[in-house]
């Protein structure tokens, strides 16, 4: 536990290969709900705080990662974030990161996705699924943008080119 402005705060959640989703929680104390392959847990930190603090833990900031991805995609909105690129952990936002509706989905946890009543159903590697209140076209675009970023970071592995700097 850590003390922030006189309040005991739960230790920061560490994003790992097990993380599937980080979403906003409508609670006065628990600001996020995290879904992993084996458990679910609330967090007093907002999704953006969790992403930012994990980026810092692994050598950058959310703004730093956004800047790199913005250069790769030639875009500045709804950017996928390489949280721990060395381990292949990339998070896909379903909306603008400032939006209350933004849900972060782990790229490598997605097995497939499809349309269901103008929403998107995500099928995860572990056989579970969830509905997202985002159109399939928007999610498909976000997934493809994330794929571009993943290829950029792993170009040296895929194509045998020189090493990429993280």
Domain positions in the chain: 15-156
pLDDT over 60 at 5, yes or no: no
Mean pLDDT of 33-41: 97
DSSP code of 42? Answer: E
What is the distance between the alpha carbons of residues 148 and 71, in angstroms, rounded to a whole number? 12
Cα dihedral sign, 156-105-80-58: negative
Please give the backbone phi and psi of residue 134, each rounded to the nearest 5 degrees, phi first.
Answer: -145, 145
DSSP code of 14? Answer: P
CA 156 to chain centre: 23
Q: How confident is the model at residue 157 (pLDDT cuts 50, 70, 90)?
A: confident
Q: What is the pLDDT of residues 45-78, one digit of tens each?
A: 999 999 999 999 999 999 999 999 999 999 999 9
Predicted TM-score (pTM) of the model is 0.88
CATH topology classification for 15-156: OB fold (Dihydrolipoamide Acetyltransferase, E2P) (2.40.50)
Q: What is the pLDDT of residues 71-105, one digit of tens each?
A: 999 999 999 999 999 999 999 999 998 888 999 99
User: Does residue 98 contact residue 18 with C-beta atoms inside 8 Å?
Assistant: no
């Amino acid at each position: 536990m850590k003390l922030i402005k006189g309040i005991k705060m739960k230790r920061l959640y560490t994003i790992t290969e097990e993380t599937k989703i980080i979403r906003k929680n409508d609670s006065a104390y628990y600001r996020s709900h995290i879904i992993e392959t084996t458990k679910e847990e609330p967090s007093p930190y907002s999704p953006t705080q969790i992403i930012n603090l994990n980026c810092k833990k692994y050598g950058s900031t959310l703004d730093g990662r956004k800047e790199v991805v913005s250069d790769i995609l030639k875009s500045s909105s709804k950017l996928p974030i390489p949280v721990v690129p060395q381990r292949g952990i990339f998070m896909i936002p379903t909306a603008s990161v400032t939006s209350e509706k933004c849900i972060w989905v782990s790229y490598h946890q997605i097995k497939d996705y499809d349309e269901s009543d103008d929403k998107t159903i995500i099928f995860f590697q572990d056989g579970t699924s969830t509905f997202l209140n985002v159109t399939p076209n928007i999610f498909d675009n976000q997934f493809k943008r994330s794929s571009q970023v993943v290829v950029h970071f792993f170009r040296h592995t895929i194509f045998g080119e020189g090493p990429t700097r993280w």
